[in-house]
Each structure stands twice: as structure tokens, then as C-alpha cells.
Amino acid sequence: MLFIVPTPLGNLKDITLRSLEVLQTVDVILCEDTRTSSKLLTHYNIHKPLYAYHQHNEHKIVVSLADQMESGRKMALITDAGTPGISDPAFLLVRECARRDIRVECLPGATAFVPALVNSGIPCNRFVFEGFLPLKKGRQTLMKKLAVEERTMVLYESPLRLVKTLNELISYLGPERQCCVSRELTKMFEENKRGSLQEVLAYYTAKPPKGEIVIVVAGFDS
């Protein structure tokens, strides 16, 4: 059996009681970075074997992990922060479990784009999640599609690339398109900067950002 377990974005209290119960009872916990996950698990006095499972090794070990679950082992998959599968590894393992009819349970919990979307002040009844934009191939084509996308758009971005991406969004969507950049969600220095793309660009050009970034952009209004 496989459990998909969301972990806190920053505030360790943002983990559910059920998640803690599952992590206490499984045989193995799969995680992106054992050092990062150890801090959370130690905080809650959870001591289980940790196996590294990330984008660099998932193709190599997914069959072996499924074999172990078929033999009776219960596993939980977590990431450094948020819900596995949302711009983080999970898909390959879930697909292999589905192919073999291995039971999978995905627990509800922390996901960065949800609070960013809801507190943006931009309509969230219809939205499209794009995650991280491609760095090179396909980037311009996608930008052209986003320019005429009528739904609210949600993007993830590195703080080092935020200013560049805002500049590109202005080039394709125009400087007055409304947006919100959420940074360091649930942490001590959480920040939600709202305004036009031009206003938000000016702010972060003068004040280079740190931490995890979510960009919410209003859809095209014909």
C-alpha cells in the first residue's frame, strides 16, 4: 500500500493528525531529501526508515518499490514541502501502483498554490495551474497561450528567476495585467505582493526576493 502524505510548507503545525498517524504506522517513508524530512519527523518523534525518492532516481527504483509493496510493505511518500505530485515526484510511482492494482491513498493537506490563489484577490472560481514554466524549449509558445488564457493562471518560480519571468509576462500579457506574488507561505516572513505586473516587477527589482515563489495572474478579459 502507498500513502501520499502532504507535509508543511514551513510552519510545522500545518500537518494533519491523520498524516502523523500514517507516518507512525508505515514500514518505510520515501522522501526527496532525508536531511530535510528528518527535521520534521524528529520534531514529531517519528522514527522510520527513510529512502531517498526524487527526480534523479525515481525511474530507476520505481519498479523495486512497487515490488516491495506487493510483498506487503506499507510506504508513505512525502516531499520537502507540500503535496507530492504537484511539481514534485509522485506520478511514476502512483502510475506503477495503479498498473499493479496496489492500493494508493492520497491524504489532503498543504499545497502552496491553494493559499496563494485564494489570498491573491484574483478570481479563483476557474483557474489553470502551470507549475514551473519551461526554461527554454516551448517557453515562448506557452507564453503566447497564457496571453489569451481567460482563467486565472498559477505559476511556480525560483526567486532567482522571478524578475525575468515578470518581465516576460509583461511582454506577452501587458504591464497592467493584475497579479499577486506570494513568497514564503506559512513562514515568519510570508509576503503577498498584489498589483499590476509592472508594479510587482518594480517592487521585486528594487527588493530581490528570497524563498519559494507562487505567481497568480489574472486571466485575459476580452
Per-run averaged pLDDT (10 residues), the chain, 222 residues: 97 96 98 95 97 95 97 97 95 97 97 96 96 93 96 97 97 97 95 98 96 96 74
Count of structural domains within the chain: 2
Q: Which of 106, 121, 146 is the C-terminal boundary of a domain? A: 106
CATH assignment at residue 47: 3.40.1010.10
Residue 172 grid coordinates: 506577452
Q: Which of 64, 83, 106 is the C-terminal boundary of a domain? A: 106
Determine, yes or no, domain membership for 222. Answer: no
pLDDT of residue 115: 96
Q: Are residues 66 and 147 in the same domain?
A: no
Sheet bearing 50-52, strands edge to edge: 50-52, 28-31, 75-77, 2-4, 104-106
Domain enclosing residue 119, as ranges: 113-217
Q: Are residues 102 and 119 in the same domain?
A: no
pLDDT of residue 222: 57
